[in-house]
Amino acid sequence: MSQWRLDWPTSGGGRIASGRLKTTPGDFIVDEFLEFPESGSDGEADANPGSGEHLCLKLEKVGDNTEYVARELARMADCRNFDVGFCGLKDRHAVTRQWFSLYRPGCESQDASLIEDIAVRWPVLAASRQARKLRRGEHRGNGFVVTLRAVTGEREVIDRALTRLANIGAPNYFGPQRFGNGGANLDRAVHLDPATLNRRSRSGGKGRGGKKRAGSDGSKNVLYFSAARSWLFNEVLAARVEDGSWAEAGATGPLWGDGGTTASGPLETLERDIVAQTPGLASLFSVTRMKPERRPLAVKPERLSWQWLAEDSLELTFVLSPGQYATTILSDIFELEDMSLSRHNEQQG
């Protein structure tokens, strides 16, 4: 049994319904919104072709994770993995529409041929040349269409809870997938040497000659470090949910860094007391030189709407900003059974 708490308090004191998530990939649709500064386009298919050294493509993918597609695009475009940019990791077990950038200076005449080759693997929804590589978190947001199956619970109660979600929002927890199976990423985090992590972060995980080490531990250590930071935030947020202060206007929680938190007064005391209960994680931040930051405690989905497709099937449509999680807001109401995990376990068995 894991030593880590991986299920935190809900805003309503408990979940009032249950449902199956990702019964098929089409039950979880994600559409990335990206506004190009040169054209003002938000990713529509008739985007201005633009100009620049980076060819940006919006692809639709099913069954492939973001990093795999990025590596394949690098191979097809005959460029380095580093030369492929994207704004965020999207779920493999879903229908996802996502932008990628390929560094291809002086290759404009070959774009049409490359796009044709890529379209054999993934539908190309839009293309535009831009001056800069796409980077993490640069997208404007993500649109979701999520269908829950085998929903149990009273429809009127669920409708009231969804209305409350639209008006107030939900606790802005980091999703459990960040922490690994059973909190495995946290188990690894407590064994990291923070001084070593700091040296690796400054070197960018590169070896001799400035080349990135294939299979180096640097990126994994950053993953474990991020998991620790996220878990501490969730613990503070859980305390704020329990005392009812999470939804106060402008309320934020700590993304722990060197020196701990930027909060002051009673809030600082609360946050430091909570983090001190897990010294193995708190010690990671002693010499990392990572600046403490703040994250909103509440997430309020934009343009939330829903319709009942059948007695036990519910479709929800909404938009979230970067760094916000669809499963987080749904888990505030529903006990979710992720069917993609069940399929994965069957395949592994």
Please, what is the end-to-end C-alpha distance for the chain in angstroms? 21
Q: What is the CA radius of gyration of the chain?
A: 22
Continuous H helices in 93-148: 111-121
Continuous H helices in 132-217: 155-168, 184-189, 194-203
Q: What is the C-alpha to C-alpha distance for residues 76 and 56, in angstroms, rounded to an integer?
A: 14
217 is catalytic: no
267 three-state secondary structure:
helix
Question: Is the CB of residue 112 less than 8 Å from the CB of residue 57?
Answer: no
Q: What are the start-end ranges of the E strands in the chain?
A: 17-21, 28-33, 54-62, 84-86, 95-103, 124-130, 141-152, 170-171, 252-255, 293-296, 298-299, 302-310, 313-320, 334-338
Count the neighbouring beta carbons within 10 Å of the beta carbon of residue 304.
Answer: 19
Q: What is the C-alpha to C-alpha distance for residues 252 and 161, in angstroms, rounded to an integer?
A: 23
Give me the phi and psi of 85, to 5 degrees please.
Answer: -115, 155
Q: Distance of alpha carbon 275 from its chain centroid, rounded? A: 23
Q: What is the C-alpha to C-alpha distance for residues 251 and 150, in angstroms, rounded to an integer?
A: 35
Catalytic residue, from 42, 64, 91, 312: name it: 91
Which residues participate in catalysis according to the annotation? Answer: 91
